[in-house]
Amino acid sequence: MKKQTIITAIFSLFLIVGMSNHAEAQFGKKLKEGLKIGNKANKSGGKKGKKGGKGKDFSAFNSEADELGVSGHYVGLIDPSTSGLKFVKNRDGKLVNKLEYYMSNTETPDMELTLKESYYTKYEVKMFFNWRSASASGYAEIIEVAPGVMAVIKGDRSLNDADDPLPLDANRTVIEVAAKDKTSFDTWDIETAQAKVDMLIGTLKGAQSEKDKKKLMRFDVYKNYKGKIAFAKGTNYLRNQKSLQPTEKEANFITKRELGATVAFKPYFELPLEQSHPGAWFNITYEMAGETTDREQLRQSSTKFSKNIPQIDKDQEKFYFWYPKVTINTSNNVADYAFLELLRKTQDKLSAGNTYDLKVTVWAYKDGANIDPVATGTIQLEYTSGDNGTDKLLNDPVKGWITVLQDYLDE
Amino acid sequence: MKTKLFLFTFLILLGFYPVIGQESQNTVLSKFESGNYTVYKINGKKFEKVKKAWPVVITKSGENVSEILVKRAGILDESFKPDVPGYPAYFAFKTFRLSFIKDYAVYYEWNGKQEANTKYVLVKPGGSFGKKWEATNEEVASYAIATFKNQTNARANVKEAKAALAESDRIANSLQHKKVKSIALEIINTPKKIAHFSEAIDYGIIATLADGSQLKTSNLGGKMPWEDFKLSHTGVSNTIERVKVDENASSLKNDEVVFSVQSVYHPSLKASKSLATTNNVSIQVNQNGFAGWDRKKHMTVFQGKDGQHAGRADNLTVKVKSFKHKQTGATLNKIEVYNNTKNKIVSQYKLTPDTEFIVNAIGGYGMGGFDGDSSTADGGNGGNGGAGGNVTVIKDPNVKKVTLKINNQGGKGGKGGAPKYSSASAGRTGSTGENGTTTTQTKTLQLNF
């Protein structure tokens, strides 16, 4: 009896595993199909349709009354098989704005994509999307690049919100072009469609950026500090958890600090760098007591500096640095070598009891030159006296910041 | 003779080559005209001719090329602008670049490593292209890098033009060369509390000219440069636009913060404004022992399975003396914290008797022991907590009230690590550090701040 039960259980288990594998295989196939117009028809060796290309004839869709003008019979560029698109505005008395994608037959759609309404109503961009699974590979998107020409797109992000397409800052790659008329392919190849998609996304991004800025202006920190740099005693005072929500407290910002102690700083920009200076990255300069050091210049000056001063080529799409920078951070012994070099250069000019203005400038940097400052700020640094004052912090024979840099440069 | 001629020709060519290679795009483009360009796109790493030619429109402004309009596939307008107008190395559209070399233009991307990634080659109408992709990348990159070096003068010109524009803007808004009647300070936000660690105070400057018109600093809606003024604030940071009250009371001698500005161009013109301090922001001073996991920052440690012991807190003396606020006459306390272990003054504050002042001299927390593993199944012991600091509070006989809280308990021990197997033993939890002692004395004090 026992033996029989075990055998039955094992058999059932095999059956379940087999079924689920089959279901997965079907689903996976559909996903791939979703990203390639007409792929299935091509594989199945369908006959040449009336409008050219292999597969079913969807030319009846051309006569669909469709206010977007996207319904019709399409042929793929890379995969020259046919497929049909049908725009459905209302269904069962409800506004749905769906794009039905037909491939295997003319009756039942193989996929249904959703129109991103606001992009169409505000900017006339016809973008349709579908999340078949939460992973990036489960995303399908179609954008009309010209009347009767569609770009099929894949993305590089996984699902965040099924009601929304891929975010605008994600990478979109055109993998196929489909057109009602094959002669369109004389003009529309993958690269041209990609260029048009990039242009359309650029328009949407510009509009999004305005909206983002409006949101940011609700926060006093951004309102008061755009174009400026905020300083604090530690990076923790300048961090925030959510994008576009600079919740850091201005009360924790400082304007004066002991020279040699931790100073964290965060620049806030009027516009993201990729918009104000496309193709540029960031550079930082420090000025104090008549001397200036420049991160990029130092990077070019020696391999030692080059190794220790990384390029700041992130956050170009943001209104502020996501991770604050530091001149010196005593809690983890991290410092910006450009700031240490400034200390080394000015050491003979600095003396106890005096206070010095440190001007920090964040630049848009391109082709070996600082183009424009994008944020500036000044903090006063006080050279404290006493056994544990600034002199010890900078010139301690073992751990002093200047000592450490000098030893490294003398190696 | 033939060898000499060859050598001579070779040297001439060698001498000429870099010059040709470093010509600016303005010079190179003198040999180009608008028209329908044959396009080669990159497919894998090979060039492939595109069916349709792309119209290219070259627009000049005097000797310089001001724009290259590429009509991609004849339908998409891409407007390329010179990187440095007087001496361009390339024309830019978004992140794409276009450089004309010999009889073709390279359409490419550029990265931070000074490398080109060619996307297309646009050949003069009727021409053809047979170079390899890698060679094209190298050619355009070496052209661009060489031209960047030659851009020094042009860049300087651009910089100069920008500086001239900024200077004319400065002069228009500066007090320099203007007849000025007066200057005045305006506090933009007066916080309810003016004390150590209180909110920042924003201020601006208004200058009234002889003709009655006014110039204002940027935070008051004007463009008057801050460089027109010499600042000598006391009790607050000496910074433009926004200041914060000093953290040390020694600079608040008269219990007020004073904003003082002087015109650089009219030194007789001065303005100042003072605000009495309120001394009512609660303060917490931390002189705790280090945590076990930070022990390595203080001494050399050997890290085994057991957690590190924490450090003891420093011993402190807190001195309190009352006095009268020099502006309001209210009673305040001067409070000084002295670190006996390190022999240094930690802080000097002035607070109202009702404002809470917290001193933390808590022992550090021990580090947890590591869990058992296959080599040592037993969990490591937790490190011991550090002892609390001994705090002596000395009050001057004139102190009637001070809201003082001393926290100097010992730090908790770290938890023992879990055993790998049920047969092995868990590590022991580290012991809690001893509490520090708190002694209060009454003694006449001299606090000179």
C-beta neighbour count of B188 within 10 angstroms: 12
Q: Of all residues in chain A, what percent carry a pLDDT higher than 70?
A: 87
Chain A residues in contact with B83 (beta carbon < 8 A): 366-367
Shared-domain flag, residues B433 and B386 = yes
Domain residue limits at A237: 217-410
Take residue B169 and report the two structure tokens written for it. 């803007």
pLDDT at A372 (0 to 100): 92
Interface touch A380/B239, C-beta < 8 Å: yes
DSSP per-residue string spanning B325-376: -TTT--EEEEEEEEETTTTEEEEEEEE-TTS-EEEE-PPPPPPPPPPP-SS-
Domain-ending residue, one of A153, A187, A213: A213
Evaluate whether B367 touches B414 at the Cβ level (below 8 Å). yes
Domain assignment of residue B8, yes or no: no
CB A233 within 8 Å of CB B178: no
- Give the closest residue to B398 by CA, choosing from B341, B328, B447, B345: B447
Same domain, A235 and A260: yes
Looking at the domain assignment, is residue A309 inside a domain?
Answer: yes
Q: Give the pLDDT score at B426.
A: 95
In a domain, B169, yes or no: no
Would residue A379 count as lying in a domain? yes
Distance CA B383, CA B431 (A): 8
Tokens 């630049």: give the residue. Answer: A363
Say whether both A209 and A221 belong to one domain.
Answer: no
Answer yes or no: do A263 and A365 share one domain: yes
pLDDT digits (tens, 9 = 90+) for B173-230: 999 999 999 999 999 988 899 999 999 999 999 999 999 999 999 999 999 999 999 9
Assess whether B266 and B286 both reside in one domain.
no
Please report the pLDDT score of residue A199 as a whole number. 92
Look at residue A8 and tell me whether its pLDDT is greater than 60.
no
Residues of A with CB under 8 A from a CB of B: 146, 186-189, 191-192, 195-196, 198-199, 202, 250-251, 253-256, 278-279, 281, 311, 313, 355, 357, 366-369, 378-380, 386-388
Whether residue B331 is contained in a domain is answered as yes
Question: Average pLDDT, stretch B322-338?
Answer: 97
Q: Produce one character per residue of B398-416: b if its CB has 16 or more CB atoms within 10 Å, e if not.
A: ebeebebebbbbbbbbbbb
- Same domain assignment for residues A232 and A84: no
> According to the model, what pLDDT value does residue B353 have?
98
- According to DSSP, residue A239 is labeled -
Is it the case that residue B10 has pLDDT exceeding 80?
Answer: no
Q: Distance from A84 to chain B by nearest Cα, in Å?
A: 26
The pTM for the full model equals: 0.77
B161: left (phi over 0), alpha (psi -120 to 50) or beta: alpha
Under a CB-based contact definition with an 8 Å cutoff, are residues A360 and A294 in contact? no
**Structure-block tokens of residue B366:** 């021990």
B306 plus B338 within the same structural domain: yes
DSSP state of A83: E
> Does residue A251 share a domain with residue A140?
no
List pLDDT tens digits, range A48-58. Answer: 444 455 678 89
Q: Based on the domain organization, do A238 and A108 belong to the same domain?
A: no
- Does A359 share its domain with A280? yes
Q: How far is CA B436 from CA A26, B191, B289, in A?
A: 71, 38, 12
- Grade residue A5 by pLDDT with cuts at 50, 70 and 90: low
Domain termination residue (choose one: A196, A213, A230)? A213
Mark whether A332 and A355 lie in a shared domain.
yes
Instruction: Indicate whether A398 belongs to any domain.
Output: yes
Q: Do B446 and B339 fall within a single domain?
A: yes
Would the pLDDT of B283 be above 80? yes
**Res B126: pLDDT:** 83
Asked if the structure places residue B2 within a domain, the reply is no
Q: Mean of the pLDDT values across residues B129-140?
A: 95
Residue B433, pLDDT > 90, answer: yes
Contacts of residue A277, Cβ cutoff 8 Å, sequence gap at least 6? A364, A366, A371, A372, A374
Asked which of B276, B311, B335 is the last residue of a domain, the reply is B276
Quick one: DSSP state of residue A270? S
Q: How far apart are CA B116 and CA B263, in angstroms?
A: 52
Note whether residue B173 is domain-resident. no
B185 with B321, same domain?
no
End-to-end CA distance of chain B: 93
Same domain, residue pair B293 and B343: yes
How many CB atoms sit inside 10 A of residue B296's CB?
14
Claim to verify: residue A311 and residue A337 sit in the same structural domain: yes
Say yes or no: A188 and A269 in one domain: no
Statement to judge: residues A132 and A266 lie in one domain: no
Contact present, B390 and B407 (Cβ < 8 Å): no
Interchain proximity A250–B72, CB inside 8 Å: no
Q: Which of A153-167, A224-238, B366-380 has the lowest mean pLDDT?
A: A153-167
The count of domains in chain B is 3
Residue A273, phi then psi, degrees to nearest 5: -60, -35
Q: Which domain holds residue B125?
A: 17-153
For residue B185 the two structure tokens come to 């300070």
A186: tokens are 């004389």
Length of chain A: 411
- Show which of A213, A240, A275 is a domain's final residue: A213
Q: B148 lies in a domain?
A: yes
d(CA B125, nearest CA chain A) in Å: 18
Q: Is residue B342 part of a domain?
A: yes
B75 at A interface, C-beta within 8 A: yes
Average pLDDT over chain A reads: 86
Q: Are residues B290 and B267 in the same domain?
A: no
- The H-or-E segment that residue B56 falls in is strand B54-61
Q: Does residue B37 surpass a pLDDT of 70? A: yes
Task: Please count the structural domains in chain A.
Answer: 2
Cβ contacts below 8 Å, chain A against chain B, sum to 75
The residue ranking higher by pLDDT, A111 or B113, is A111
Asked if residue A314 and residue A227 are part of one domain, the reply reads yes
pLDDT per residue over A279-323, tens digit each? Answer: 899 999 999 999 999 999 999 899 999 999 999 988 998 999 999
Is the same domain home to B102 and B222? no
Judging contacts by C-beta atoms under 8 Å, the chain A residues touching residue B74 are 187
Residue B270 shares a structural domain with residue B292: no
Regarding whether B421 and B291 lie in a shared domain, the answer is yes
Is the pLDDT at A26 greater than 50, yes or no?
no
CA A164-A168-A174 angle, 5° bins? 95
Same domain, B269 and B318: no
Which of B217, B244, B276 is at the close of a domain? B276
In a domain, A353, yes or no: yes
Q: How far apart are CA B56 and CA B75, in angstroms?
A: 12
Minimal-distance CA residue of chain B relative to A296: B112
Residue A380 is nearest to which of B112, B155, B238, comparing CB atoms? B238
Instruction: For residue A202, list chain B residues with Cβ-Cβ distance below 8 A.
Output: 94
Rounded CA gap, A258 and A231, in Å?
13
Residues of B in contact with A311 (CB under 8 A): 112
Structure tokens at A156: 């590089």
Give yes or no: residues B400 and B257 share one domain.
no
Structure tokens at A43: 């594989």
- Nearest alpha carbon to residue A110 among A48, A182, A180, A31: A31
Q: For B126, phi and psi rounded to 5 degrees?
A: 90, -10
